[in-house]
Amino acid sequence: MAGGAAYPGHVVFSKILRAGEGKILRRLNKIADAVESLADETADLTDAELRARTDEFKERLAEGETLDQLLPEAFAVVREAATRTLGQRHFRVQIMGGAALHLGNIAEMRTGEGKTLTGVLPAYLNGLTGQGVHVVTVNDYLAKRDAEWMGRVHRFLGLSVGVILSGERPAQRREQYACDITYGTNNEFGFDYLRDNMAWNKADLVQRGHHFAVVDEVDSILIDEARTPLIISGPAGDPAMHRWYTEFARLAPVMQRDVHYEVEEGKRTVAITEEGVEFVEDQIGIENLYEAANTPLISFLNNALKAKELYHRDQQYIVSNGEVLIVDEFTGRVLSGRRYNEGMHQAIEAKERVQIKDENQTLATITLQNYFRLYEKLSGMTGTAQTEAAELSQTYGLGVVPIPTNRPMVREDRSDVIYKTEQAKFDAVIDDIAERHEAGQPMLIGTASVEKSEVLSKLLLQRGIKHEVLNAKNHAREAHIVAQAGRLGAVTVATNMAGRGTDIQLGGNPDFIADEQLRARGLSPAGTPEEYEAAWDSALEKAREQVGAEHEEVTEAGGLYVLGTERHESRRIDNQLRGRSGRQGDPGESRFYLSLGDDLMRRFNGPMLESMMTTLRVPDDQPIESKMVSRAILSAQTQVEQQNFEVRKDVLKYDEVLNRQRTVIYAERRKVLDGQDLHVQVRAMVDEVVSAYVDGATEMGYAEDWDLEQLWTGLKALYPVGLDRDELIDRVADGDQAALTADVLKSELLDDVHRAYEEREAALGAEVMRELERRVLLSVLDRKWREHLYEMDYLRAGIHLRAMANRDPVVEYQREGYDMFMSMLDGIKEESVGFLFNLEVKTKEQQDAEARATQAEAEAKALAAAQQGTARVRARQGAAAQAAAAQAAAAAPAPAAPAAAPPARQALAEPPLAESAPAAPAAAQPAPAPAQPAPAPAPVEPVPAPVEPAPAPVEGDGVAPVAEPVPAARRTGTARRGRHAAPEALAPAAPEADEPVPAGTGPELSVTGLDDPHRSDQLSYSAPSLDASPRESGRVKAAKSATVTGTKEPARNAPCPCGSGKKYKVCHGAPSRA
């Protein structure tokens, strides 16, 4: 890694690694010679003959040949296929790079050397095995682009190509993973692995193993993002706690930096001062922030201050449509669906005054280091890996092989210039851009954040310079912007998004232009492959003619000029930006403009440089160029790289503990999913649990002192004990408990539990019992593993305090983590046995029978209610008729009344026909509608949101929905449905077409008392905070400064080092206040 002074061991190790480069390159040259010797022979083959070579290779593999033996011929075939489909032929150096990848190395290839095309060679060769090849990219755009673009070569040769994109359904993913070669991002591959280990049926698994992976931009994925564990979470928050996020978001702006709290930007941490603690206690009305009841508030306070000082809008995140979206610090892209954990995201939401979403509980997690070490063979390519060669070798066992360039690089890298103020820097940048733009030279201007890119864009608009902006807010136009960035007079302002995976060609990108023209005609390589291929050659020829003329003009103007407005904390990121220029021998130029206000300079060495510039009386608009500046920048980057390396090592050390535990749990889980006969395993589990109960009751004292009553009480809660305690003592010990031995007692109880298990199986049936065993083990294992992850997180949060007692935190974490893991395994066994004996189980047939009975009862009640209502209506109508008749009789002397009375009396005396029917009356209110009396668990009236049947299978859940009674209004169909009847959409819907209920997974059961599988739409995927020690709270920070060796007096409000939990000022620090 960087920095010889900081890493003497790394320097020595790097020299040892480089010592073998010559030998590897000689081997790669021999392979390239062998491939090139087959060029003429392969070129003579027809398209059909070329495709037939794939089947031939597969047959030879099946007969015992190795991939290494097939390599020259396979590479020659791919080279020819690429020439025919893409119009691009692999250079010799690309063949060398492909061979290095196949051999499990990292190929370091400069920008524009064709890494994407190089990756096709090992992907095809290893795809012949049928075990699956994963090509890993840094974002969805590149995954989709490469799958379509390079997929044309693979499809031409008869291999299938898939792509994994965010938002795809499991059935789609399963189909893509079944392909010979699958493209996708590191996050999608990692999350699919975790989701597979949360599945409840084998049919729900999407991945099919980890055979071979080619990682594009390998240093970004395996180094930069290795600090970020992948975390799948489920809802587990208390909305009532949201008020504390809001409360501390109110307090944070009025708290003063360096008075109430201190900030270490280099380590990305905050620490509360004594004054800050007292201020918060006064504001929220508590006496002691550090007493047990108030300790949860500390994390709210820390997160609010971090949100204020370390997380800035349009830098670490953006706000879009009322939602806080994370921006990747290395790529500048939005991480859709990802959230900071540990309450950090909620604190930012409170700060931005958007809706605060619930905090989640970790369900599954893995670091990228441990995920990629699952692959049998791993390789990668990048333009900047040599500086990290030692770490890549130590962590992943990967060697770095520098591949020569196809043509000499002639780019001119100018020295950095530094200004005193940011305003002066931007003024100089605008002047430089304007001058070169007038000459027609294309420019790529790199910025460190979305915010800075927009500031620079406004300045360019003020000068009337037409330009494009590429950042996280308009990433959808990325392909178009990059394709035009090398054209005459083009000005492109970009964040780090333009630093990786992009190829800026002078004069424009002919492949992109041809592809864009074909897509405008409705053709695509995936949708209409035959028509697309037929039209490709002519479209590409026209695009090349268009680009060729402009290429000459751009070359005369000096090629692409890369202007960096700020140094990144990693030299590799700077080199990636510079590497956009000077591809394939093209001319180019690069320079960085800096200021003392830049983040990197402010965090490291800024005060020293500012003091020097002030002493020398350097004007604000006067730049300086000197070796001292270069050394200061190198020193600052080295310090950051050193910190990041330590963080990655720290993350890996702690995750190694969890990784060993995760491997055990996931292996046991996979046995269950693979359908292995669990009967023997479960019987052994039963024996082990009962034996443990007996051992616990008999390990102390003599036999007459054993508390057998307590043992029987515990066992009865576990299973239906059939042994009578007194009868057992009479039978095996002649009525004397003192003569009873532990072995005899254990043997008798084991026989009894075996009897109970056989009776349980006989009552349920063998098939149902096997399914119950499977369901119970999965449910209990998942729940206990979730609880264990939470406990391990809690342990990790406070493990640094062990350093106060001169103990190694990692060793303590390993020891206590092991004890917790063994306790979890015991808990899994005990709970599983208890559930197997005590859960209420209903088969599908029993559910249907109960549903029919409930439905019939509901219909009978509805009919009886309707008939009773009709009888009441008739009685009231009869009484009314009699009253009317009496009134008519009393009014008989009136001569005109009899003529009008008969029609009225007739209308009142005879009820309408419709009211006499048992159906719900249209006008009579007392008669209830038939749907109302039905005791359905869910309401039948329409609701705004789509209604799903509550117990429906989720992601292959083997549970059939419990049948609900269906009201008459919904059963009678369209013919009898009234104007306000419930719509058909409310009826239980069948599973979606791409989410089939797996077949062959055992009988469908309803098991009361087990956890249901987590719905996929309730899961979230989070990125932890970027802190060096993300779980180190202000309390831990204060505790670290407490007196341990007698060299420093603790802060009065810090917890006392004695461990009492009290403040130092009221514990051992009390005398010091006198």
d(CA 358, CA 234): 10
Write down how long the chain is: 1074
716 marked among binding-site residues: no
CA atoms in the 13 A half-sphere facing the CB of 1050: 28
* CA 214 vs CA 150, 169, 778, 1049: distances in Å: 14, 24, 33, 54
d(CA 125, CA 100): 13
Helix (H) or strand (E) holding 362: strand 360-366
295 marked among binding-site residues: no
Residues 6+ apart with CB under 8 A from 235: 358, 360, 361, 1018
Starting at the earlier edge strand, list the strands of the sheet with 360-366.
Answer: 360-366, 230-235, 1020-1022
Of the candidates 263, 266, 341, the residue with the CA atom closest to the CA atom of residue 1030: 341
Q: What is the DSSP string of 339-388?
A: --TTTHHHHHHHHHTSPPPPPEEEEEEE-HHHHHTTSSEEEEEES--GGG
499 marked among binding-site residues: no
Cα four-point dihedral sign 418, 420, 426, 431: negative
d(CA 221, CA 403): 20
642 marked among binding-site residues: no
Q: Which two tokens stand for residue 209?
A: 């193993």
Of the candidates 667, 662, 647, the residue with the CA atom closest to the CA atom of residue 792: 662
d(CA 219, CA 570): 11
Q: Burial level of 1025, CB count in 10 A (0-12/13-18/19+)? A: buried
127 marked among binding-site residues: no
* CA 508 vs CA 139, 393, 585: distances in Å: 23, 38, 16
Bridge partners, 703 (sequence order): none
* CA 120 vs CA 74, 84, 375, 968: distances in Å: 11, 14, 19, 62
d(CA 449, CA 332): 7
Q: Which two tokens stand for residue 302?
A: 């820390």
User: Is residue 101 within 8 Å of 569, Cβ to Cβ?
Assistant: no
Pure H helices in 235-320: 242-251, 274-284, 296-309
94 marked among binding-site residues: yes
Q: Which two tokens stand for residue 531?
A: 């028509």
Helix (H) or strand (E) holding 37: helix 21-37
d(CA 116, CA 833): 54
Of the candidates 307, 302, 295, the residue with the CA atom closest to the CA atom of residue 345: 307
Q: Which two tokens stand for residue 283?
A: 């504001």
Cα four-point dihedral sign 297, 302, 308, 314: negative
Q: Burial level of 754, CB count in 10 A (0-12/13-18/19+)? A: middle
At residue 512, the 3 state secondary structure works out as helix
User: Is residue 75 within 8 Å of 95, Cβ to Cβ?
Assistant: yes
At residue 855, the 3 state secondary structure works out as helix
Q: Which two tokens stand for residue 829?
A: 């066994």
At residue 269, the 3 state secondary structure works out as strand
Residues 6+ apart with CB under 8 A from 659: 366, 367, 370
User: Is residue 273 within 8 Å of 261, Cβ to Cβ?
Assistant: yes
Bridge partners, 108 (sequence order): 382, 402
The four Cα atoms 544, 550, 556, 562 give a dihedral, to 10 degrees, of: -90
653 marked among binding-site residues: no
Helix (H) or strand (E) holding 214: strand 212-216
Residues of each annotated binding site for ATP: 94, 112-116, 503
Residues of each annotated binding site: 94, 112-116, 503
